[in-house]
Amino acid sequence: MQLHSDLNSSSTKTPHVLSQPLLHIILDRPKIAANIASIVRLSASFQAVLHVCGPLVFDQGDKTKWRAGLDYFYGARVHFHQDIFSCLQLLGDIEPWIIEVGGEKAPWDVSFESGAIVIFGPEDGSVNDLICNRYQERIVSIPQYGPVRSLNLAQCVAMVTAEATRQLQDKNK
């Protein structure tokens, strides 16, 4: 019983690392289970919260598609929402960054704060138009210099998460 009382004393209590996450990563209507699984793994690694918004339009029981993240769900904080609007309402008044084609700034041109919200659209489309129109000045694009059509959703999330982490570590020095 001594152990139990030690855990509950205010002097030894520390907040769970995800009670103040580095980022809130929002996926708006993702379509590829393997991307979500990879992003779960990334979220656990960077201690970010993952929000998956919209219907899951793939076979949720096919574990081969979830393989990249199966071992990491225990260490990740993942929330599923009916749509992006209910997710943003739950998160409150923090203005999100939107990763989308056509932004004038790159991830390294903006200043990420701890707990920032970053929205990524579906693999085959864009972030909801109502969201993009409301936060036009917060649209950020990842530059592509080579002959590729697009980057994978999980790659984009990894790049932005790494840049946000770099910025926040620099601020804490």
Of 66, 76, 81, give the one whose Cα is nearest residue 27.
81
Cα 107 to Cα 143: distance, rounded to the nearest angstrom: 9
Residue 4: inside a domain: no
The count of structural domains within the chain is 1
Residue 1: inside a domain: no
Residue 54: inside a domain: yes
| pLDDT tens figures, 91-150 | 998 999 999 988 999 999 999 999 999 999 999 999 999 999 999 999 999 998 888 888
| pLDDT tens figures, 7-38 | 333 333 333 345 678 899 999 999 888 888 88
Q: What are phi and psi of 140, to 5 degrees?
A: -120, 140
Instruction: Give the structural domain span for 117.
Output: 19-171
CATH, residue 40:
3.40.1280.10
Helix axis angle, 33-46 relative to 153-171, nearest 10°?
10
pTM for the model stands at 0.83
| pLDDT tens figures, 38-71 | 899 899 889 899 999 998 766 656 666 555 555 6
Residue 128: inside a domain: yes
User: Which pLDDT does position 66 carry in this prediction?
Assistant: 57
Residue 32: inside a domain: yes
Q: What are phi and psi of 118, to 5 degrees?
A: -130, 125
- In the three-class reduction of DSSP (H, G, I as helix; E, B as strand; rest coil), residue 62 is classed as coil
